[in-house]
A and B are shown apart, each in its own frame.
Chain A
Amino acid sequence: RAAEKKIVVGFSQIGAESGWRTANTESIKAEAAKRGIELKFADAQQKQENQIKALRSFVAQGVDVIAFSPVVETGWEWVLREIKRAGIPVVLSDRAVAVTDDSLYVTFIGADFVEEGRRAGRWLAKASDGKAVIAELVGTPGSAPAIDRKKGFTEVIGQYPGMKIVKSQSGDFTRAKGKEVMESFLKSPDAKQITALFAHNDDMALGAIQAMEEAGVKPGKDILIVSIDGVHGAFEAMAAGKLNCTVECNPLIGPQLFDAVDAILAKKKLPKRTQVIEGVFEQSQAAAELPNRKY
């Protein structure tokens, strides 16, 4: 009887704040449709409380598996326990949670933000021979990617005495803010020294590139630019020589996610953590990679 019933998966997404996120959502939806799984999708609009509400509502609806990308790391203990009591397995995607009892979820599929920061740092150290005066465009204050990427990045450049961050300001992960903040960086007295830019995501880097062009600074040449995500626009910019490097953060985790769901329902054992396959792309690879970018 159970076999005839369609599998129902509840998925709570953080929001739709960027093209990256939309691609992430689409990948999951498309994969669910492909496998004939009924997906209950809930958008939390960046709010943890909305997400908790959605998770509890999934319990009330009696879904088979719950998956979600947590808005923040902490604060999931109670609701996860409630889900566990209801006997529903949980899969985390994209971001991890901090819980005392890791039996509260089955597996985590996603990126390691700290590692992304490290990769960006390593690339910059190599490209600049360990000597760089860096401006940093930080993500939204308090958000996990902003904090972790900064952490990874500073960890790496801390090993190079010739590298230091002179400007650091939040660009809220948006192009408009990235541009506005970069403009003010470029007008500050120490602007001339800046040799590199680290942006926590591609959108801010793309905004900053516009600001540089308007100020008569050559992006990618006068100032080395490294950012994270690897969206389509970033590859275009790299192909045009305006961006130097992007650290990929792959949103297309739909297949991996539903592989995990299938495995759980088939009562197979899963590793606690599944890393998403990600790369670091430089200008030389851009033109070749560009056609493969769907988001």
Chain B
Amino acid sequence: MATERFEKKQARWWSSLVWPVSGLALLLLFDLCFTDGFFKLEVRDGHLYGVLIDILNHGSKVMLLALGMTLVIATGGVDLSVGAVMAIAGAVAARLINTTNVSFPVVIGVTLAVAIAAGCWNGLLVGAFRIQPIVATLILMVAGRGVAMLITDGQIITFTEPWLTYIGNGHLLGLPFPVWLSGGMLLITALLTRRTALGLFIESVGDNQTASTYAGVNSSTVKFFVYVFSGFCAGLAGLVAASNIKCADSNHAGLFLELDAILAVVVGGTLLTGGRFYLVGAMVGALFIQTLTTTMYMRNVSADIAPVPKALAILVVCLLQSPKVRTKFSGLLKRRGS
């Protein structure tokens, strides 16, 4: 077996990040040149204040969702119910906090428990009953918002409890709390998947379910877990969303955010067919989407034609990610260089 020995090429975790990051960088560069005030940062009331901070702050909802969604997509599934679960979480929290004698930790505990229960429901349908993920989670997507409205009676429920409003509006060490929350969750998810064998199992189920089952991976349990985790992440995102506007708006909380979360994951380099997943990539994807949205606000692009520039931006990122385009491009560069 005398094939040439090549140096051990270890796939570094950041090597996959190059393309989503360059997409984001391109967009930021555009803003640097053409959007006034985009990069202005100042300190106000002891915390950072500026458009970039807003992007981090508002992007954190999709970032949280994308963490769970990444794992779900890595197993070859998809979770359409995250937006509805966000609405449920917000509704439960607002309802409870306005009830006398319920303390803040209990509110958080119950809210997250409800979100996890929603995840269990999805996990059960996909993992145990083997229903195709898209229909399985569609059920909760449709019914879940109804449940949230049932909880709030179709009304917007406002609250003023300081701890609950802190989650979406507070600042810690100069940065908005949601940024810390999503950063912390990223860390936890990364540890959970990379410091245990969970990541390996998830990727193996997504790459070839039959083969990994034969190798002893409990694919139903793995699937069950990722939906539960996704439910949990959606619960956190729901808390942030509700807290941010100090009310539970069951009709609109998380509406269409599942699409943004999936988009973030795919922009981050994870394939929809499952297998390898990139958590940090998904975070970059989420920031990309939020930057795009904010850019459009800042540039006063009218909302009805805003989808057009959005489409073009997605296509550019797509092309950046395409191996085919890349090889053609690098071929061109090489020819130039030589």
In the complex, A185→B54 CA distance in Å? 12
B52 CB to closest chain A CB, in angstroms? 10
Check if A22 sits within 8 Å of B304, measured CB to CB.
no
Interface size class of A (residues with CB under 8 A): 35 or more
Q: Is A141 interfacial (CB 8 A cutoff)?
A: yes
B52, closest chain A residue (CB): A187
A144 CB to closest chain B CB, in angstroms? 14
Check if A174 sits within 8 Å of B252, measured CB to CB.
yes
Check if A210 sits within 8 Å of B246, measured CB to CB.
yes
A226 CB to closest chain B CB, in angstroms? 20
Q: Chain B, 144-186, contact with A by CB distance < 8 Å: what is the 0/1 string?
A: 0000010001111010000000000100000000000000000
State which of B44, B247, B297 has its C-beta within 8 Å of the C-beta of A184: B297
Check if B302 sits within 8 Å of A233, measured CB to CB.
no
Q: Chain B, 238-252, contact with A by CB distance < 8 Å: what is the 0/1 string?
A: 000100111101011
For chains A and B in complex, what number of residue pairs have CB atoms within 8 angstroms? 82
State which residues 116-137 of B face A: CB under 8 Å: none
Interface 9-mer from A86-94, A95-103, A162-170, A271-279 = A162-170
Check if A233 sits within 8 Å of B156, measured CB to CB.
yes
Interface centre among A22, A168, A184, A210 (most CB of B within 10 A): A184
Q: Is A264 interfacial (CB 8 A cutoff)?
A: no
Check if A183 sits within 8 Å of B304, measured CB to CB.
no
Q: Is B300 interfacial (CB 8 A cutoff)?
A: yes
Q: Chain A, 284-295, contact with B by CB distance < 8 Å: what is the 0/1 string?
A: 000000000001
Interface size class of B (residues with CB under 8 A): 20 to 34
State which of A176, A184, A203, A233 has its C-beta within 8 Å of the C-beta of B253: A176
B158 to chain A: which residues have CB within 8 Å?
A: 233
Tell whether A187 pairs with B40 under 8 Å between CB atoms, given A172-B252, A180-B297: yes
Check if B303 sits within 8 Å of A176, measured CB to CB.
no
Q: Chain B, 25-44, contact with A by CB distance < 8 Å: what is the 0/1 string?
A: 00000000000110010001
Q: Is A17 interfacial (CB 8 A cutoff)?
A: yes
Check if A169 sits within 8 Å of B297, measured CB to CB.
yes
Interface centre among B49, B156, B294, B300 (most CB of A within 10 A): B156
State which of A17, A170, A176 has its C-beta within 8 Å of the C-beta of B244: A176
Q: Is B319 interfacial (CB 8 A cutoff)?
A: no
Q: Is B298 interfacial (CB 8 A cutoff)?
A: yes
Q: Is A214 interfacial (CB 8 A cutoff)?
A: yes
B binding-site residues for A, Cβ under 8 Å: 36-37, 40, 44-45, 49-51, 54, 58, 149, 153-156, 158, 169, 241, 244-247, 249, 251-253, 294, 297-298, 300, 302-304
Question: Would you mind naming 7 contact pairs between A and B with Cβ atoms under 8 Å apart?
Answer: A19-B156, A22-B153, A141-B302, A175-B249, A176-B249, A180-B297, A188-B36
> A168-B300, A187-B40, A233-B158 given. 16 additional CB < 8 A pairs?
A16-B251, A17-B252, A22-B153, A169-B303, A174-B249, A174-B251, A175-B245, A175-B247, A175-B249, A176-B249, A176-B253, A181-B297, A185-B297, A187-B54, A203-B249, A207-B245
